[in-house]
Structure 1
Amino acid sequence: MNLRHHALAVLKETSRTFYIPISILPAGLLEAVASAYLCMRAIDEVEDHPDLDTVTKARILRQISLNLQGMGEKSTPEAFANGLATYKGILPEVSLRVGEWALLAPESIAPRIWDATAAMADRMAYWSERNWLIETEADLDQYTFSVAGAVGLLLSDLWAWFDGTETNRSQAIGFGRGLQAVNIVRNHREDQRRGVSFFPQGWEVKDMHRYARYNLSLADQYTKSLPAGPALNFCRIPLTLAYGTLDVLALGKEKLSRNDVMALVNQATR
């Protein structure tokens, strides 16, 4: 099995939201977006790890960042994973194989993905050391940019690299923030059980719904401005699922069912 097939297999195991839109992308763009997603999922699994303390998380994240910053055209997967062997058996496969995901992207765009992932890992290390303390809406904006708004900017760069598609970068940030805010609402109870809350002080669930819907309105504008093509096909799916998730959460359900997901995907791809 080649690296592309390995990546898609791991992607399918880790994300039902993004596997479908990534898997339908054309060659070249598929490898670039899959590389970006898996690299960022690799560091996300460190940030969310239930058995690592915040100091250890920050140390691992900064090591991954430094590894990415030291890469070049002759780098090997092992170089990207420098310092991670200590955590074999603790970190999941997607994190330990970050070097393979980093090298999946086409050579002409790979350094942009490495840069974005390195910067995100550093920001995650900061938030880990802060124990994800979010006191104000400004803090929330900073966090959601750190882990998601910046992904919107990277996607805009990937669309432009692939076929010259131009996008509104402010709306791209809203796209990422909106998806992240939906995740925050969905995972709120689970986060509370591990002693973390991404809600600013005094906020209730309805306030986070408002925040999510505002940013999803920017995502709407972003998506509607895209020309017919792979970027539009990609963005429609997670945006439709985000709205669907908010709707079921508002009804008191925990998440979309598998049937709900498939129905929404069919709706987004018609």
Structure 2
Amino acid sequence: MEFVKCLGHPEEFYNLLRFRMGGRRNFIPKMDQISLEFRNLAEKYQTVIDDICHRMGCGMAEFVDKDVTSKQDWDKYCHYVAGLVGIGLSRLFSASEFEDPIVGEDIECANSMGLFLQKTNIIRDYLEDQQEGRKFWPQEVWGRYIKKLEDFAKPENVDVAVQCLNELITNTLQHIPDVLTYLSRLRNQSVFNFCAIPQVMAIATLAACYNNQQVFKGVVKIRKGQAVTLMMDATNMPAVKAIIYQYIEEIYHRIPNSDPSSSKTKQVISKIRTQNLPNCQLISRSHYSPIYLSFIMLLAALSWQYLSTLSQVTEDYVQREH
């Protein structure tokens, strides 16, 4: 089924095929290796780990019986849940000398790494959270569109629901400059892969969710072939910049003029382009021409059809014989 979904995306089809045939070894071992290194470091830096865990626990306890009311609350909640993880990991990266001291010292950039991921998850998971009785969207934002957060799921409210969605995505995009600054400082390949892959997944998810009514009707996910392609490509800074450029351009070209946040969204994206992605172009990350990839896809589809037919004929023959 995942291969079928990729038929309109030749590069994704090819990369998914590579991944299934062993391409995952090119980057997953590096991530496993860094996990192993951190386990050897855990005892040495137990104080750092204990401090972060304590602060996370105390912070999240604040929201046990409290809704996320303001945008400041939203930032604070995401800080406790994910920002502190980014800060803690950054301190370990530096303390272990995998990375330069600045990585662990710049708390704002490390925090933004976590906030960008957590806000993306909260935005994407609106419907699931509502069904489970969880409310993580800030009332300061959704309260300007509707009286009850759960009412965004009603078909008659889809227009204002999407407007609120776009405003929250715009808020989340503002973390991208810090994300790019953080990633540009990383020198260790394993650390880079470990940090960059979730970030490019997040921007792809935001692009899929932007101005999309489906967020209020089901689960919006990026294609598996798309995810695999991102994992394989996000191994250096130029590629990461190209990926982010691609998805913010997708968002930019889908901004409705009637959307209340349209001017703010354009302003945020223009700032990212100018300050963080100067002269960045959407480079092709494929080494194969579209014609060649299309041929591979056709050959794979025909092979699959042949094997399916052969399997069915064999099964029918066996049944007749017995």
TM-score by length of 2: 0.50
Work out whether 1:161 is the aligned partner of 2:99. Answer: no
Deviation, 1:137, is 0.8
Give the aligned residue type for 1:157.
R
C-alpha distance in structure 2 between counterparts of 1:179 and 1:105, whole Å: 25
Work out whether 1:256 is the aligned partner of 2:191. Answer: no
Unaligned ranges ≥5, structure 1: 1-19, 36-103
C-alpha distance in structure 1 between counterparts of 2:50 and 2:224, whole Å: 33
Question: Runs ≥4 in structure 1, deviation > 6 angstroms?
Answer: none
Q: Tell me which residue corresponds to 1:38.
A: none
Deviation, 1:231, is 2.4
Work out whether 1:134 is the aligned partner of 2:61. Answer: no
Deviation, 1:118, is 2.7
1:234-249 to 2 correspondence within 5 Å?
234-249=194-209
Q: Tell me which residue corresponds to 2:111.
A: 173
Deviation, 1:233, is 2.5
Q: Tell me which residue corresponds to 2:235.
A: 269
Work out whether 1:31 is the aligned partner of 2:57. Answer: no
User: Which one of 47, 54, 63 corresponds to residue 118 of structure 1?
Assistant: 54
- Write out per-residue CA displacement over residues 27-53 of structure 1, whole angstroms, 9 at most, x where no aligned residue: 5x42365x6xxxxxxxxxxxxxxxxxx
SS in 1 for 2:227: helix
Higher relative contact order (CA 8 A, sep 6+): 2
Unaligned ranges ≥5, structure 2: 1-25, 143-163, 215-219, 237-322
- Write out per-residue CA displacement over residues 16-70 of structure 1, whole angstroms, 9 at most, x where no aligned residue: xxxx97852475x42365x6xxxxxxxxxxxxxxxxxxxxxxxxxxxxxxxxxxx
C-alpha distance in structure 1 between counterparts of 2:127 and 2:32, whole Å: 38
C-alpha distance in structure 2 between counterparts of 1:234 and 1:200, whole Å: 29
Deviation, 1:228, is 4.6
C-alpha distance in structure 1 between counterparts of 2:111 and 2:132, whole Å: 28
Deviates more, 1:151-160 or 1:220-229: 220-229
C-alpha distance in structure 2 between counterparts of 1:21 and 1:236, whole Å: 12
* Structure ID, larger Rg: 2
Deviation, 1:120, is 1.1
Q: Tell me which residue corresponds to 1:233.
A: 193
C-alpha distance in structure 1 between counterparts of 2:27 and 2:84, whole Å: 19
Q: Percent identity?
A: 26
Deviation, 1:138, is 0.9
Classify 1:21/1:221 alpha carbon distance in 2 versus 1 (closer, same or farther; 3 Å): farther
SS in 1 for 2:100: coil
Q: Retained in 1: the 8 A contact 2:112–2:175?
A: yes
Work out whether 1:182 is the aligned partner of 2:87. Answer: no
C-alpha distance in structure 2 between counterparts of 1:228 and 1:105, whole Å: 16
Aligned length: 179
1:56-205 to 2 correspondence within 5 Å?
106-130=42-66, 133-163=67-97, 164-166=99-101, 167=103, 168-201=106-139, 202-203=141-142, 204-205=164-165
Deviation, 1:229, is 3.3
Give the aligned residue type for 1:24.
K
C-alpha distance in structure 2 between counterparts of 1:30 and 1:256, whole Å: 26
Give the aligned residue type for 2:75.
D
Root mean square deviation, CA, Å? 2.5
Give the aligned residue type for 1:172.
A
TM-score by length of 1: 0.59
